[in-house]
Every structure is written in structure tokens, then in C-alpha cells.
Amino acid sequence: MNQAVKIVVKGKVQGVCFRAAAQKQAVKLGIKGWVKNVPTGEVEIKAVAKKADLEQLIVWCYKGSVFARVDTVAITPLHHVESFTDFAILKD
């Protein structure tokens, strides 16, 4: 059964290919949803998948892309599980 989470990653996560790397990781894990930069300098992810796959994405978020510096990762479980066809990078 799929679950949904919102993940907010803070630190040096914009301008360091974090969204592209997150998309690559999500696709590898079979996760659907999206990733986007937010005006406050964070990256936000909405992800839908099996619990084990979401947990692997969350672990990855603590490291991030090669040039990222992750300070904090906040995870919020979502009660409404949306249907997505892929994992997209949303434009700023």
C-alpha cells in the first residue's frame, strides 16, 4: 500500500543539482511525485510510494547531491495519497 510524505530539505540545496539528483533517486526507487525549489531557499518534495522506498529516499535526502550541504530534513506524513504518473522537477 502506498504512502505519501512531504519532505523539506534545508541547507545549501539550491543551485547544486539537488532537484535533478532527487529525481534520479526517486525514479530509481520507483517513487512518484515531484521536487521543487521554494523561495525560502529550501527544496520541497512530495513523494508517493511504498513505505520502504520512501524511507530510502528520506535517507538519501540527508546526504543530497554531490555539492549540497544538508542542514535539516523535515518529514510530514500526508493523509491524502495523490496519484502521480512520474517524478517531476517543478519549475521555480
Give catalytic residues, as residue numbers.
Answer: 19, 37
d(CA 22, CA 26): 6
